[in-house]
Amino acid sequence: MANLIDGQRVAQEARIKIKNDIAHLQQERGITPGLAIIVLRSPFGRMHIAQLKERNCKQLGIKSQIISLPETETEEELAFLIERLNSAKDVHGINIHPLPPHLSHTRISQLVDPVKDVEGLHFLNMGRFLLGSTFLMPFVGRGIINLIESTGVNLEGKRVVIVGRSQLVGKPVSFLLLQKNATVTICHSETKNLTAFTRQADILVVAAGHPNTIKGNMVKEGAIVIDVGVNNVGTHLVGDVDYKEVEKVADWIPPVPGGVGPVTIVMLLDNVVRAAEQQ
Ligand code: NAP
């Protein structure tokens, strides 16, 4: 049976450092970091995660606000809001929740002042990141690396397979893993014979957005499996990995929920503090 990777514990350890950094920022410069979370009320918006972020902010001493907008919001209306937040002195970071299909997250992210781009998705920050900068790195990727390293594994020379190549997850995490000297393969929906790749992985990162994408027979014995997926199935949240099958084969696996989610939230808030330090 696999060991459980406890995302809540990893998140809690990170919170202690962030709390210290915030106290320092307040004492030295009188700054309270501020985060604005933009949520469009659509099936993609994930208001409950925004509320979870708000609770985390409160615990840490970050001033947060959720800006809840109708699903029909236009790009022009969003641009106007972001312009206002860009010049608000008490907002140091802007987080945009997944948008409905008529809006492009990539395009909207370019409207955020790069110094407030706590998602790390502005092309300036993404470009700097690819050149090795550590300022405002993509937060989901950072969370995944933290979770993997919490197992005590040394990533150097490890064979890592990532299932998914999105801007938010697959691509940034692949680059962070390369920086750690892992050997990285990225798979996607057009990959032929996915199992042939996943079975070779010492570490398998799955961010496909579909339940049961990875079954037990697709995993190498003793692997670390990081399930990034969050899918609503009935009233339950499940990952992309068939947990019951994979826990029998893998050495380490996080639960869903309670794995990647709590750590990525904390990494987002860490970016808010880094952003506030620069403003
Ligand atoms: P996305 O933009 O939909 O990307 C999914 C990726 O998976 C795409 O690259 C797609 O390939 C690939 N894919 C889909 N089905 C596949 C299959 N059967 N075999 C191989 N590759 C497949 O999703 P995302 O934003 O990266 O999110 C992925 C999952 O992670 C979602 O469940 C999301 O809710 C979750 N998530 C969790 C957190 C967290 O903090 N816990 C944060 C972000 C996302 P193509 O490129 O060829 O289409």
Nearest-angstrom CA–CA distance, 36 and 132: 27
Per-residue confidence band for 44, with pLDDT thresholds at 50, 70 and 90: confident
CATH 3.40.50.720 domain locations along the chain:
139-261
Q: Separation of 238 CA from ligand 1 center, angstroms?
A: 13
> What stretches of 42-87 adopt beta strand conformation (E)?
63-70
| pTM of the shown model | 0.96
Q: Which pLDDT score is estimated for 272? A: 98
Q: Establish whether residue 106 lines the binding site of ligand 1, counting it when its CB lies within 6 angstroms of any ligand atom.
A: no
Q: Establish whether residue 177 lines the binding site of ligand 1, counting it when its CB lies within 6 angstroms of any ligand atom.
A: no
The CATH code that applies to domain 29-114 is 3.40.50.10860
**Per-residue pLDDT tens over the stretch 22-36:** 999 999 999 999 999
Contacts of 214 (CB under 8 A, 6+ apart): 163, 198, 204, 206, 225, 227, 240, 241, 242, 246
Q: Establish whether residue 46 lines the binding site of ligand 1, counting it when its CB lies within 6 angstroms of any ligand atom.
A: no
Q: Separation of 169 CA from ligand 1 center, angstroms?
A: 7
- Best CATH choice for the domain 139-261 from the list 3.40.50.300, 1.10.645.10, 3.40.50.720, 3.40.50.150: 3.40.50.720
The label of the residue with tokens 């972001």 reads 82
**Per-residue pLDDT tens over the stretch 96-145:** 999 999 999 999 999 999 999 999 999 999 999 999 999 999 999 999 99
CATH 3.40.50.10860 domain locations along the chain:
29-114
Directed axis angle between helix 260-277 and helix 47-60, to 10°?
60
Q: Please compute Rg for the chain using Cα positions.
A: 19
Nearest-angstrom CA–CA distance, 57 and 66: 11
Kindly state the average pLDDT of the residues 12-27: 96
Q: Establish whether residue 170 lines the binding site of ligand 1, counting it when its CB lies within 6 angstroms of any ligand atom.
A: yes
Per-residue confidence band for 81, with pLDDT thresholds at 50, 70 and 90: very high
Per-residue confidence band for 76, with pLDDT thresholds at 50, 70 and 90: very high
> What stretches of the chain adopt beta strand conformation (E)?
3-4, 34-41, 63-70, 93-96, 159-163, 183-187, 203-206, 224-227, 231-233, 236-238, 252-253
**For ligand 1, atom 39, which residue shows the shortest CA distance?**
261
